Amino acid sequence: MEINIKPFLKVLEDSTRKFHKVPKSHYLESGIFPIVDQSKDFIAGYTNDENVINKDNLPVIIFGDHTRAIKFIDFPIALGADGAKALTSKSKDFYSKYLYYALKNFDLPDAGYSRHFKFLKDGKFPIPKEIDDQKRIAQVLSDCENLIAQRKESIALLDKLMKSTFLEMFGDRKGEEVSMGEVINIQNGLVDPNTKPYSEMYHVGGANIEPNTGKLINLKKAGNENLISGKYLFEPGYLLYSKIRPYLNKVSVMDFTGICSADVYPIKPKNSKKLNIHFLKYELQSQRFLSHAKNNSGRANIPKINRKALNAYKFKLAGPEKQLQFAEIVEKAEQSKQLYQSHLMQLENLYGRLSQDAFKGELDTSRVVLREGFSENESKNKFENIVSKPSKRLKKLDVKEVKKAILEFKGKRDITEMTFFDYLGIPEEIRETRDGIEFDFTRMDEFYQFLLKDAFQGKMFTYQDIEEEFYNYYNHNNLDIDYEPWKEIIFKFIDAKPPLIEQVFDEKEGGIKLKLTDEAYKA
C-alpha cells in the first residue's frame, strides 16, 4: 500500500463559517434536531429550529478546539457555538471517514483549556494513494470501534439494571427504620502514605472513582504520587464514598487493602449479617440519599457532606434474606461486567494496534470487501440518520429479558464448536487484516483455553504434549514462545474450582496424564 504524507491544509478545510451556531443557553434536552459541540457527549442537546441545521456540508468532522474531542458526523446537525470546529475534506481523493481516524491517531499536545486547532493545522497525515485503501482502513477501524461501543453499552446497561433492580426490590421502603450511623462505621485515624507498608499500597482519591459506576480508574501506588497529608486505611469489604460533590455518586466496594484520600469515607457495616455491603452501596446511590446529601451539603462552591449529615440519614433496612438475594444478583452481574471489561480492554488494545499498522501502511486490507456505505464516495445525507446508532440499539433492548439473563447467569457459554474469535465477537474482515492477530490476546486466559480445547478435545495428554502443541502453534506463526506464562495458566486451570484440567490414570500406559474437564468447554 502506497502512503503519501500530506499536510493538514492540503486535505482538510475549516468549514465552521458555513454552519449556523447555537449558543449553549439555547440547547434543549429533547427535540427534533441534534446539536453537536466539543463536549465529550456525542450529542450535546437538541433544537427544533430547522433554520440552524446544516444539511449540505456532510460528512463533517467536528473538532473540539479546547477539549480535543473528535466526532464524525454524516447526518444533519446544528453546531454548538463554543469552541467547535467543522472540518470537511478538500477533495474527492480523500475519504472523510479515513481522515477522521487519521485525526484520532494524530499525537496532539495537551495544552489544557487553550485552543488546539493551531497544532492540528501544522500537522501532517499519512494518506493511502488509492481511495479504496482509505475506505478499507476506515471500514476495519469502524467495525472495531463499533465492537468497543457495544461492549461499553453492555457495561452501562448492567449498571442501570442493578439500580432498577434495587428500586424494584426495595422501592416499597419496607423494613426497620434506622439511621446510617446506627449501622455503619466510618474509618478514623490517618496513616502516613510515605512510610511502609502504606507507601506500597494503592491510593484511591475521589478522582479515581468513576461517577455513577464506582469503577476505579488510573490507580497508582502511594509512593509514586508525592502525597503530603495523612490517608485512611481500608481493607476488603469496605465501601469508599467520595464526600466531595456528592451529586457525582462516587461509591465503590473494595476487594483489596489500600489507602484513600481524607476526602473519601471508608465505610464498613457494623454487622455484615444485618447490613449487606451491596445493599449499602445502592442505598447510597439512590435518589433518596442523593436528595439528602444535596440538602445537607456545606461549602457552597464545593458541595460536601460531613460525617454528621451522613450518619443522620434515615432509611428502611430490608431483611437480611432479601438483601442477600439482591447481593447474589449483583455478584452475578459483576461477573458479567468483569468479562465485558476484559473483552473491552483487549478490543481497545486491538484497535490501537490496527491503527498503528494502518497509518504506517502495514495493514493488509487486500481481503477486505467494501460494504454498502463504504463503497460509495461518501455517506448519503438523510434525516432518518439523525438518531445515533447506539441510541437505537438501546431502545431495542428488552430490559426484562436482560434482567432474566443476569438472574440465570452462570458466567459461562458453551464453546465446544466455537472459535476464539467467535467468542470475542470479532468479525472475519478484522481477523484477515493481519496474520497472527490472535496473538494480540495472549494475556487472556481464554486464549490458552481455546488452544487446549482445539488440540486435546476428548484426549488424554501430558505436559510435554502441551509444550509441543504450543511450540508448533507459535513456531508456525514465526513467533517465539515464552514458556513461563503458559505453564502458570496450566496450573491455574488445574487448581480452578471447578478445574478445567484434571489428572487421570492412563490404564494402557500405566501412568498419570491430563484430561480436559467439561468446564474447559465453557467460557
Instruction: Please give the average per-residue pLDDT across 495-499, as a whole number.
Output: 85
Which cell numbers hold the place of 66? Answer: 479546547
Is 222:204 a contact under the CB 8 Å cutoff?
Answer: no
Task: Report the C-alpha gap between 79 and 85 in whole angstroms.
Answer: 9
Which cell numbers hold the place of 170? Answer: 426495595
Confidence of residue 432 (pLDDT cuts 50, 70, 90): low
Is it the case that residue 173 has pLDDT exceeding 80?
Answer: no
In the prediction, which pLDDT does 478 show?
A: 64
In the prediction, which pLDDT does 482 show?
A: 63
Domains of the chain listed by start with CATH number: 1-129 (3.90.220.20), 132-175+322-408 (no CATH), 177-317 (3.90.220.20), 442-521 (1.10.10)
The chain-wide mean pLDDT, for the chain, equals 84
Q: Model confidence over 252-294: pLDDT tens digits?
A: 999 999 999 999 999 999 999 999 999 999 999 999 999 999 8
In the prediction, which pLDDT does 410 show?
A: 45
Q: Model confidence over 355-414: pLDDT tens digits?
A: 888 888 888 888 888 887 776 555 444 444 333 333 333 333 344 444 454 444 445 778
Tell which wins on pLDDT, 469 or 428. 469
**Nearest alpha carbon to residue 107 among 119, 115, 97, 96:** 119
Is 202:221 a contact under the CB 8 Å cutoff?
Answer: yes
Say what the alpha-carbon torsion angle 130, 136, 137, 138 is, to the nearest 10 degrees.
Answer: 110
Task: Report the C-alpha gap between 363 and 375 in whole angstroms.
Answer: 19
Neighbours of 319 (CB within 10 A): 12
Q: Model confidence over 379-390: pLDDT tens digits?
A: 444 444 333 333
Instruction: Please give the average per-residue pLDDT across 235-263, as a whole number.
Output: 94
Is it the case that residue 522 has pLDDT exceeding 80?
Answer: yes
Instruction: Please give the average per-residue pLDDT across 497-520, as a whole number.
Output: 84
Which cell numbers hold the place of 311? Answer: 450518619
